[in-house]
Amino acid sequence: MGDATIPLIDLRHAPLKAVVPRELRPPNGLLIDQLGRPLRDLRISVTDRCNFRCSYCMPKEVFDRQYAFLPHSSLLSFEEISRTARIFASHGVQKIRLTGGEPLLRKHLEVLVGMLAALRTPQGQALDLTLTTNASLLTRKAQALRDAGLQRITISLDALDDAIFRRMNDVDFPVADVLAGIEAAARAGLAPIKVNSVVKRGVNDHEIVPMARFFREHFGHAVVLRFIEYMDVGSTNGWAMDHVLPSSEVRRRIEDQFPLVAMRASAEGETAQRWAYADGRGEVGFISSVTQAFCHDCNRARLSTEGRLYLCLFASQGFDLRPLLREEQANDEALAAAIGLIWSKRDDRYSQLRGLNAAPPNTGTRKVEMHYIGG
């Protein structure tokens, strides 16, 4: 195991402490951070393992056979995840996304989906429950997930060309099996399906138009294709600005073939800019986290598979909630107050500062890896 993995392991053993304030103020669903941003979206990583080795997330030279993933005893149980999600809902969370790693590697995940589907907001509404996957196991899981209460699904697919896709996932996984997973999700009623494609200049950018053509012609409104700028998440993917193809250029390439019409955002804090095909054959989205930061209305928190709460995708440290979940004396009121205190002090805006060429403070540690807290 090379030196590049050491800082990540250090992150696991040096979290920030989640402090319970003396005054236990009950949640009122109106929690905001230092920049006036509400808490609405919780992304929960259920495993740090993945069966792909995509270079922009888990490069094989770092995450090899000797890499020490978290032991099962360190992972939050389904009961602990459900309890935490219920408390987040009391603070105003309306959407939960299950992620990883590859979340479908977590055994009996549909049981957790069922537990989360039973949760309600203070107003009695069901939570928006979704999941992000590479679709490698989706053909056998889609119907069980839907039956358990999963509403929507997002699938990662970086190329339609089989040779390019096998190269990018670096485990020789065929694109046909991902497309079969998309078909299975559509049959199960997990629609509209979102398909996310990370664009890396010089690697798969020539796949932009073929992917747009394929999904609009074969799936129409059932699938929303979204192109994501290659991000500087973590410290192992060798990111450089030269590798980024701006969303404006991605959109121009598509518009040269298929005229587009701008659409309004579907929800507050939405990351993707939405564009409809002018001929009415569906829509396409662009997530411009490098060239057009959306920190100003970011309403997302991330919970790692072992119970660390991260306030930004580009954070270097998380707040350790697991002790509060496993101490008998730490009741729901204490856990809710600790979460409320953490969010109320949040002032993260990494992408915005990067765009202003004002680098965020250097904490001396590397940014957390995407596979550990999800995208």
C-alpha 151/C-alpha 255 separation (Å) is 31
Res 15: pLDDT:
86
Q: How far apart are alpha carbons 246 and 265 in whole angstroms? A: 20
Query: pLDDT 10s digit of each residue in the chain, 375 long?
Result: 343 333 344 444 578 999 999 899 899 999 999 999 999 999 999 999 999 998 878 889 888 989 999 999 999 999 999 999 999 999 999 999 999 999 999 999 999 999 999 999 999 999 999 999 999 999 999 999 999 999 999 999 999 999 999 999 999 999 999 999 999 999 999 988 999 999 999 889 999 999 999 999 999 999 999 999 987 665 555 557 788 899 999 999 999 999 999 998 877 767 889 999 999 999 999 998 877 777 888 999 999 999 999 998 878 889 999 999 998 667 999 999 999 999 999 998 877 776 666 555 444 456 667 667 776
Which pLDDT value is given to residue 316?
81
Q: Residue 239's pLDDT is what?
A: 58
**49: phi > 0 → left, psi -120 to 50 → alpha, else beta; which?**
beta
Rounded distance between C-alpha atoms, residue 47 and residue 214, angstroms: 32
In order of their start, the domains of the chain are 3-189+298-373 (3.20.20.70)
Tell me which amino acid residue 26 is.
Answer: P
Q: How many CB atoms lie within 10 A of CB 25?
A: 12
